[in-house]
Structure 1
Amino acid sequence: MKVKCDKRGIEKAIGVINHGGIAVYPTDTVYGIGCNPYDNEAVKKIYDIKSRDSSKPLPVLTYSTEIAEKIVDIDDFTKKIVSKFWPGQLTIILKLIDDDLKKSLLLNEKIAIRVPNHKCTLEILKGCNFLVGTSANISGHPSFTNPDECVRNLENYDIFVDGGTITSKAESTIIEIENEKINIIREGSLTKEEILEG
């Protein structure tokens, strides 16, 4: 099922996600594929659809810093950074404090989390709080910014939310912070200098 990024389409997407389905949706970087991260079976489907190695952890998207704090520990130094870059193209690896998510996502102590700067995705997240937020592609293949290309190259999802072509330089930058030192795990649309300058 393909829907538009309008009120009706967003409501349908939320319904699908909350009932264990798989959604492809636009973000501010590339098209993403996700599900309810607490749903073990749906998480397994994401790995199957992407042909992704189950040892590679899945990141999560959320609606706000306040919601993020329900599952991760955000210290004062990290709060300063997220206040500048969330919503936005910065993914941060943080200490996971939700034991249920550790089980469903097969995680140990940490999780990669982001608040995307995309109106449609944020509206979806308002209805489900958290969403697996990995790129909608086969692992090892390029990510998609064009919805038609994404539809042609991906299958077995339940709903596709068409947000048009995404104009983005790259995928999100992934960082981890240790003792107030920023380590770049993957440089994407934000450079270390931009993060430090804020």
Structure 2
Amino acid sequence: MNEGGVILYPTDTIWGIGCDATNEEAVRRVYEIKQRSDSKAMLVLVDSAVKVDFYVQDVPEVAWDLIEVADKPLTIIYSGARNLAPNLLAEDGSVGIRVTNEEFSKRLCQQFRKAIVSTSANISGQPSPANFSEITEELKSLVDYVVGYRQDEIGHPKPSSILKLDKGGVIKIIRE
């Protein structure tokens, strides 16, 4: 990922396609792999709430409480994203960030020391794979590296809840 590579990896929800969230070329490659328009923003994972401050200009106070009390994966969409690849952001300059607590993705974020793109491991418009065995061979062949961890799990993890926070702290539920 330090050199712009794209990976296939397990997250705190479903398997994801990931790359350096600060590398515009790597982000472009993820859009190409997914055959998805870059007008559809992708979310990023970080390993601690402290990192949110680095990627968001003005974090509403309520965000810290939401992150602390979340009992399942929670993606929060923040206005005023910064320090990320411009093609990763929504048209309004917002970005979805999830603080991961899952062992592998948390360590990956810690060791990489930057936000990591996390988007479902599927071609846009196709169903999101519930586990590694449902990821197409085509998609596996398009990434630079496939993580060998948790490939045998057969559970059906759920996607994260998604909330949008505006600068005034107003919360909009996008997905429960």
| TM-score (normalised: structure 1) | 0.77
Q: What is aligned with 1:103?
A: 86
Q: Verify: 1:182 aligned to 2:168, yes or no.
A: no
Give the superposition deviation at 1:53. Answer: 1.3
User: SS of 1:29's equivalent?
Assistant: coil
The answer to whether structure 1 residue 125 and structure 2 residue 125 are counterparts is no
How many Å apart are 1:94 and its aligned residue? Answer: 0.7
Aligned runs of 1:29-68 on 2, under 5 Å? Answer: 29-68=13-52
Distance 2:23 2:128 in 1: 24
Q: How does 1:131-170 map to 2 (within 5 A)?
A: 131-154=116-139, 155-162=141-148, 163-164=150-151, 165=153, 167-170=155-158
- Contact kept? 1:35, 1:42, Cα under 8 Å: yes
Identical aligned residues as a percent: 36
Q: Does 1:78 align with 2:60?
A: no
Tell me the TM-score normalised to structure 2 length. Answer: 0.86
Matched positions, count: 169
Distance 2:74 2:110 in 1: 19
Contact 2:13 2:73 in 1 (8 A): yes
Cα deviation per residue 1:32-53 (whole Å; 9 max; x = unaligned)?
Answer: 1010111111111100111111
User: 1:20 & 1:166 partners in 2: Cα distance?
Assistant: 30
In the TM superposition, what is the alpha-carbon distance from 1:118 to its structure 2 partner?
Answer: 1.3
Give the SS at the match of 1:120.
helix
**What SS class does the counterpart of residue 184 from structure 1 fall into?**
strand
Q: CA deviation at 1:152?
A: 2.4
When the two chains are superposed, the root-mean-square deviation of aligned CA atoms in Å is: 2.0
**Which has the larger share of helix?**
1
CA distance in 2, matches of 1:61, 1:106: 14
Give 5+ residue unaligned stretches, structure 1.
1-16, 188-198
